[in-house]
Amino acid sequence: MTDTARRRRRPSAAPLAGLLGPAVVAGVAYLDPGNVASNMSAGAEYGYLLVWVVVAGNGMAWLIQYLSAKLGIATGESLPQVLGRRIRRRGARILYWMQAELVAMATDVAEVLGGAIALNLLFDVPLLLGGVITGAVSMGLLVVQQRRGPRPFERLVAGMVLVIAIGFCAGIVVGPPDAGQTLGGLVPRFADAGSVLLAASILGATVMPHAIYAHSALTRDRFGRVEQHERPAILRATRIDVTIALAVAGTVNVVILLVAAATLQGVEGTDTLEGAHAAIGSALGPVVATLFAVGLLASGLASTSVGAYAGAEIMQGLLRVRVPLLVRRLVTLAPALAILALGVDPTLALVLSQVVLSFGIPFALVPLVRLTSRGELMGDAVSRWWTTALAIVFAGLLIALNATLLVLLATGA
């Protein structure tokens, strides 16, 4: 769709509700099965200890996603497109693309495995077949986005987010957490090297590199190149859009950890999603367990379609080539299906995929912060000095945590 067509479809004085939606799609990345595995593992193993990590990560995510959305609005291009123009040497672009592609594959591993596990829990579908089904459904969602435009795609994803929220939050109604321990979990601290590993996994699932790449593309697809007089209203709506999306995602993520802390801590077998599902059924009843599995399925289906969208944008923007949707989808599906075929523990693969994502954060975040601070690129939408300073602090904290994790893994601590 051309920029002219996009502007023609967007009224110059569109009501606020008509401007919302891109953040909901990007925000589903914060509700993927990797979040479930990481937060469930954190709650089951360390109780309320890492609540602060989920809350802090969500706060960082708000600013990061807003910056990404603002880049797309100000430039009419996605982050990969801008980087593809600015990284002039082809070799450097290819190296950058390779790390971004690895992140996209790690994303797909988490999401396809989550969908496969959910189908197995609900319908006893073999994991490999479940992975194929998850990939096929996500392909259908992407076809809707390509042929019908962003709005129908946004509505479908928003519906899935509602299912996800109901499925994962039902447990807290039946088995509420301890209020005092929940507040205590807001105090930043670690217990041991394992808690640092899980914190990095949580952040990898919360501050998602592919969501950073995708959000700028989603606002570009929705608004095209925005005229200067339209920017204030669209940026105002975008802040509201990001706030709603991240409030929902953050609440659900905290609830997942709290349910695990309140009902699964010390329970045998909760180090896998299948075991957690069984333990939830024993502690909270079969209805809650079924809702949990349904939420996990919706999470896998919605998030893998967004991940595939981001992967296609990464390839097109950085390599400047168009790859057919089916080919692109098969490339990112291959690692996840290989893991299922080889019988690798799916929950372990989920958690480790989030650690891989955490290492991809600096490669997406540092360029984003730098680009949105440049007036010649952003115009009147350039970030203020304090916004840039805060984003630099967030980036520094994330990079420092990843470096600490690397040392712990290298020393076997």
Residues with Cβ within 8 Å of 288's Cβ and at least 6 positions away in sequence, in order, are 170, 171, 174, 280, 281
Q: What is the per-residue pLDDT across 236-274, written as a single tens digit (0 to 9) for each?
A: 999 999 999 999 999 999 999 999 999 998 888 777 888
Q: What is the CATH number of the domain that holds 113?
A: 1.20.1740.10
**DSSP H or E run through 218:** helix 209-223
User: Rounded to whole angstroms, how far apart are CA atoms 312 and 356?
Assistant: 19
Please spell the DSSP secondary structure of 245-272, one letter per residue: HHHHHHHHHHHHHHHHHHHTTT-TTTTS
- Structural domain including 204 reads 3-411
User: Rounded to whole angstroms, how far apart are CA atoms 45 and 190?
Assistant: 13
**pLDDT for the residue 266:** 80
| CB-CB neighbours of 180 under 10 Å | 9
**pLDDT for the residue 354:** 65
Label residue 290 exposed, middle or buried (CB < 10 Å: 0-12, 13-18, 19+): middle
Q: What is the per-residue pLDDT across 108-121, written as a single tens digit (0 to 9) for each?
A: 888 899 999 999 99
Question: What tokens appear for 123 in the block?
Answer: 């319908």
**pLDDT for the residue 157:** 92
User: Rounded to whole angstroms, how far apart are CA atoms 134 and 278?
Assistant: 22
**pLDDT for the residue 324:** 77
Residue listed under structure tokens 């115009």: 379
User: Rounded to whole angstroms, how far apart are CA atoms 237 and 34?
Assistant: 29
**pLDDT for the residue 139:** 85
Question: What tokens appear for 346 in the block?
Answer: 């799916």
Produce one character per residue of 192-210: b if its CB has 16 or more CB atoms within 10 Å, e if not: ebebbbbbbbbbbbbbbbb
Angle at 337 between CA 332 and CA 339, to 5 degrees: 110
Write the DSSP symbol of residue 225. Answer: S
User: Rounded to whole angstroms, how far apart are CA atoms 378 and 317?
Assistant: 18
Low-confidence ranges of the chain (pLDDT < 70): 1-18, 204-205, 347, 351, 354-355, 405-406, 409-410, 412-413
User: Rounded to whole angstroms, how far apart are CA atoms 348 and 340?
Assistant: 12
User: Total structural domains in the chain?
Assistant: 1
Using the Cα atoms of residue 251, residue 396, residue 308 and residue 374 in order, give the sign of their dihedral: positive
Question: What tokens appear for 319 in the block?
Answer: 């390599």
Residue listed under structure tokens 């969908």: 115
**pLDDT for the residue 164:** 96
Torsion of CA 343, 344, 346, 351, to 10 degrees: -170
For the whole model, what pTM was predicted?
0.90
**pLDDT for the residue 2:** 42
